[in-house]
Every structure is written in structure tokens, then in C-alpha cells.
């Protein structure tokens, strides 16, 4: 290859490289669902699709939303969200409850009668009580409490070092579906938590009673 030809090729390659856009990594938004939850500001309206100007995608019907999203018109919402998860009526739903320590032991959740050993408590539903529940199963081990809070977008409250699990089997509850409907405010639009975990409003069968078990405790025992 002649010298002029080699020089021309080198200049062409340099010009091509200069035109290639450099990848940029944007700083995560405070409401980015991939960001660990540390405040309620990361939970509010986390499933509202955002337009080019960054404003939430408000809607009154599915036709108002971009392809791939639907309109959640349930109470306190009215925004474009990913299609809701399919509700399996036979799935066991779980509600994780967080409590503090007292005298070196985990206090039971509200409305839950403790057992003698303090490892379980009994909760009875004498009327319809809609609860936020999920088929999510918390991991085991020392990180179970922190991992569950992240997955379910639960703000860490000072002193709440104990986690209890209340499970309701399929057929023992009535779930709002496909969108959660019986709630107020701006939480859980779209039937998922901010980290994508399914979230349902479900009412345990009236007259039923279930056992909540202590699954994680940090009382120094």
C-alpha cells in the first residue's frame, strides 16, 4: 500500500471514530424502580408512564396510553401502567408485618394474639378487611428482612427489627383484580410494587383465622 493511501485510510478511520456517539450513563432518578427504596417519594406514582417532558402519563382509558401500557382508573390512580399481573385464584398470598423488640423479644403485630413461645400469633378476621398482599416469598437467611423491604417498597422504620409472615391460602380470600381498586391515595398503581413485585388488595374470608409466624428477628436473642 502506498504511503498516501495509508495516510488517507488512517484519516478516514479517525474521522469515523470521531463521529461515533459515546455512550452516556444517566444518574438514576429518585423514583427509578431499580433504586433501593429509602423514602416514600420513591414509591408514589412509580408506575405512571412518563412522557418526553418527564410528566406522568395521565389517562382516563386505555386509548390514552402508549402501546404496551394500560390505564389504571382505580381509586387514587388514573395513570398509564404496565399490564397488571394475572391473578391465580389458587395462589397463596402473603403479608409481611414488621414490629419492634420489647424486653429482648419481638412484639406481635397489631390484632394478633401471641403464642406462649412468642414465635407465632393468631389473627382472626370477623369482618371484611382488605389487605395489601402478594405471592412474593421472602428469601431466608439474615438478609430476609432487608430484601423483603426492598422488594415490597416498604420504608425502613427505626426500631422495627422483626418480620412476621401471614399467609392466606388460595380460596380463602377475595382479590381485587386485575387492578387493585379498594384503596385511596397514590400507592400501588398498576398492581405491582416499585420493584415489579405483584401487589394485590385481598380480603381474607370473614370468620377465618390464620397464624402469623416470626421469620426474622433482630432482638439479640
Enclosing domain of residue 187: 93-216
Q: How many domains does the chain have?
A: 1
Across the chain, mean pLDDT equals: 75
Residue 189 lies in a domain: yes
**Residue 44: partners with Cβ closer than 8 Å, 6 or more residues away:** 31, 186, 187
For the chain, what percent of residues have pLDDT higher than 70?
68
**Residue 120: partners with Cβ closer than 8 Å, 6 or more residues away:** 114, 211, 212, 213, 214
Residue 143 lies in a domain: yes
Taking the alpha carbons at both ends of the chain, their separation in whole angstroms is 79
Residue 86 lies in a domain: no
Residue 22 lies in a domain: no
Range name among 11-15, 16-20, 104-108, 176-180 with the lowest pLDDT average: 16-20
Residue 120 lies in a domain: yes
Dihedral sign, Cα of residue 213, residue 169, residue 198, residue 113: negative
Residue 37 lies in a domain: no
Q: List pLDDT tens digits, range 82-134.
A: 888 787 889 999 999 999 999 889 999 999 999 999 999 999 999 999 888 99
Residue 175 lies in a domain: yes
Residue 113 lies in a domain: yes
Dihedral sign, Cα of residue 143, residue 144, residue 148, residue 149: negative
Q: Is the pLDDT of residue 18 over 60?
A: no
By the 10 Å C-beta count (0-12 exposed, 13-18 middle, 19+ buried), 109 is classed as: buried
β-partners of residue 67 are none
What pLDDT score does 11 carry?
A: 43
Amino acid at each position: 500500500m502506498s504511503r498516501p493511501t495509508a495516510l488517507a485510510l488512517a484519516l478516514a478511520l479517525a474521522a469515523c471514530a470521531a463521529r461515533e456517539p459515546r455512550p452516556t450513563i444517566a444518574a438514576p432518578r429518585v423514583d427509578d424502580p431499580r433504586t433501593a427504596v429509602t423514602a416514600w417519594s420513591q414509591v408514589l406514582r412509580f408506575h405512571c408512564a412518563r412522557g418526553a417532558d418527564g410528566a406522568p402519563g395521565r389517562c382516563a382509558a386505555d386509548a390514552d396510553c402508549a402501546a404496551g401500557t394500560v390505564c389504571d382508573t382505580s381509586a387514587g390512580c388514573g395513570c398509564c401502567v404496565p399490564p397488571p399481573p394475572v391473578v391465580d385464584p389458587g395462589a397463596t398470598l402473603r403479608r409481611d408485618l414488621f414490629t419492634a423488640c420489647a424486653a429482648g423479644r419481638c412484639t406481635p403485630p397489631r390484632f394478633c394474639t401471641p403464642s406462649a413461645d412468642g414465635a407465632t400469633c393468631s389473627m382472626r378476621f370477623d369482618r371484611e378487611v382488605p389487605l395489601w398482599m402478594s405471592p412474593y416469598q421472602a428469601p431466608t437467611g439474615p438478609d430476609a428482612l432487608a430484601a423483603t423491604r426492598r422488594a415490597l417498597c416498604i420504608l425502613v422504620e427505626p426500631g422495627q427489627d422483626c418480620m412476621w409472615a401471614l399467609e392466606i391460602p388460595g380460596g380463602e380470600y377475595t382479590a381485587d383484580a386485575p387492578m387493585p381498586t379498594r384503596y385511596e391515595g397514590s400507592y400501588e398503581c398498576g398492581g405491582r410494587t416499585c420493584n415489579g413485585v405483584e401487589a394485590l388488595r385481598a380480603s381474607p374470608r370473614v370468620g377465618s383465622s390464620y397464624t402469623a409466624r416470626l421469620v426474622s428477628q433482630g432482638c439479640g436473642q
